[in-house]
Structure 1
Amino acid sequence: MNKIFVTDYDGTLAGKDGKINSVTVDALKKLGNQGILRVIATGRSLFSLKTVVDIDLPIDYLVFSSGIGIYDWKNHKLLVENSIGEMDTKLIYEFLVKKSYDFMVQLPVPDNHFFHHFSSGTHNADFYSRISYYETHGVDPIKKCPQKASQFVIICPEENGNYNLIRNHFSHLKVLRATSPIDNKSVWIEILPDNVSKATGIEHIRKMYNVNIEDINVVGNDYYDLDMLNYVNKERAFVVSNAPSDLKNIFNCIESNEQNGVANLIDRLY
């Protein structure tokens, strides 16, 4: 295998219902028949993705939680895991509480679908929707902040400079922003271990198979995809038409997730 095709999940590969349709599944099978490695790089945890896809989904690797972990999908094997150390976990928690953010602290991989949460007490529907989503899947929040964390997820109804504030305060860690996959408007700010991103996950897989970076295509839809979009050659970086306008001005734009954009791209490229 000397080529890799990488796609984000929510808002890119999946439709508004969070599911992949048969047209897209067939396109992924086409890649496999040609010996092309298929990678999903998502902000979802391994647990979360498994709630919306079939176990026989035709992919080879999963870069999950924005690069915190890498999973061999076919062999059901965890390959890579990363976490935030005890001191940083404590400092981040204290800072976010002091600033009255609504946030979750995720346990280390492979249990990073479990989390402790802190609420400022203000109205934040998206924050409570995320808690409710996990509760409906049998995941109850834990009572105390863990000593070590895989990531922090801060949910803000509006950006209002929060991303830059948090990124500058924790410049030694990886800080990403994304549009909420729940209400499609709130801002999620994620604090991750240093040197962790979707791009580092792809690089790990690339080295495993000695693939040239010129033979990697990437598709995304939001700001947290910037690392992997900038990782590949410009002509190999694509965004769906439902991506923010500033991203569409930078990268190659394809049809939206609701118009089978990824499947159509696969047909054109391969």
Structure 2
Amino acid sequence: MKLGLIGYPIKHSLSPWIHKQFLQQINQKGQYKLYETSDIELPETIEKIKQDDLRGYNVTVPYKQAIIPYLDELDIYAEKIGAVNTVVCDNGKWIGYNTDGLGYIQAVKADYPELFTGKKNVLVIGAGGAARGIFYALCQESFERVDIANRTIEKAMTLKSLNQTKQVKTNCVTFEEAEKNIDNYHLIIQTTSVGMNEDVAILSLDNLLHETVVSDIVYQPLLTTFLREARDQGAKIHQGHTMLLNQAKLAFQKWTGKKVSVNPLRYNLEQQLKKDE
């Protein structure tokens, strides 16, 4: 089975290792190839993928939206979000999916199932590509309110428009408003790249409640400054590598039709990420 990943930069991607483990779980021979490409080379790379006869491939930054015109079809979830992270070749048709949001929900639900009972409030920090899938998935759950904090309120408003449900309230707030009311939230999710290459936290967590779960989708470093500050205040933390594993699991199931488990991979991935820090 031939699989792959398209994006830039992706030389240090963990996806080949993850999907190799999944292939072993189902006793399937296969390979996972990296297609690192520039904007100009994108059409040529997509043509090469077709010639390489892939069963499917993942899409990462900066092409989750740029890939859409090259596909034959989108599933309803990817269409609503306006971004694709998984492509499946089905009888010659290239179909786009998005497993980011559901992968995130599954990752949090596995560690903190209590968040999904009763009426809870959520704060999403950021309104970029990663936030789209996560926000849309959150709005399908039974939360009381999902607020969006972003430097640009216009982008937050665009994200808010993805909420088509009536049961979940959504609101756009400034960073100052979010910090002032930080004790209103049961789950706080950091979706930006802040903390990946810099030792800073995007938001002050003063007055954070101990029962709050603070989540960061950045997984390199494994313990970001944002998570460290939350932990130091006694709050619960949720690390980004769990979303990475779960969105990969869902993508793999799209390609193979077979279920796999992230549990055997989680400890090994944690050790690998700690070693790389």
- TM-score bin, normalised by smaller chain: 0.3 to 0.5
Higher RCO by CA contacts (8 Å cutoff, separation 6 or greater): 1
